[in-house]
Structure 1
Amino acid sequence: CSLLHSFFLNHTTFSLVFRHVLVDKELEVVKKESQISLPSNSNLEIRQFEESLLGFLESNGLPTASVLVPINQRITVFRNIPDAITQLDEERKSQSLYISKFIAAVASGLFDAALNYLWDETINELRNRVAQYDLSYFYDNAVNSQEKRKRLKDENDLEKIDDSELIHGAKEIGLISELGFKHLDFIRYMRNWASAAHPNQNEITGLQLIAWLETCINEVISLPLSNITIEIKKLLANIKANVITEEEAKQISTFFIHLTQEQANTLAQGLFGIYTRQDTTAQTRENIHRLLPVLWEFVDEPTKQMFGVRYGKFVANNDQEEQALARGFLQVVNGESYIPDSLRSAEIETALDNLLTAHRGLNNFYNEPPFARELYRLVGQTGNVPAQINKKYVLTLVEVFLTNGNGTAWNAEPIYYDLIKQFDSTQALMAVLSFNERVISSRLQFSLCQGKYRELLEMLRVKVTSSAAVELIDEIISYSGPYDKMKDDTRFNRKVVALQKIIG
Structure 2
Amino acid sequence: MTVPAAPTSTAIALPNSTALTGKMLDDLTKVLGVARSTLPSDQQIAHAWTNLPRLLEKIPHQHRNETVVRMCVAVSAGLFDSAINYAWNAAVVELREKVRRFGLAVIHHVTGSTFDEAALLDLKDAELLSLCLKLNLISEDGFFFLDQCRDTRNNFSAAHPSMGNLDEDEFLVFLSRCSRHALTAEHNPRGVDLHAFLAAIKASGFTKEQLQTWIQRLQQTFEAQRDALFGTLHGIYCDPASGEQTRLNALNVFEPFKASLSPKAQSDLVDRHQEYKAKGDNQRSKASSQFFENLGLLSLLGETELHAIFTNASQNLLAVHNEMNNFYNEPPFARRLSEIMVGSAVPASAQYAVVEAIVTCAVGNPYGVSNAAVPWYEKMIRSFSPNEVAIMLNFGSLPNTIINQRMKSYSACRNRFAKLVTLINPGSVPTLSQTQYNFWVAESKK
Alignment TM-score, normalising by the size of structure 1: 0.42
| Structure with bigger gyration radius | 2
Alignment TM-score, normalising by the size of structure 2: 0.47
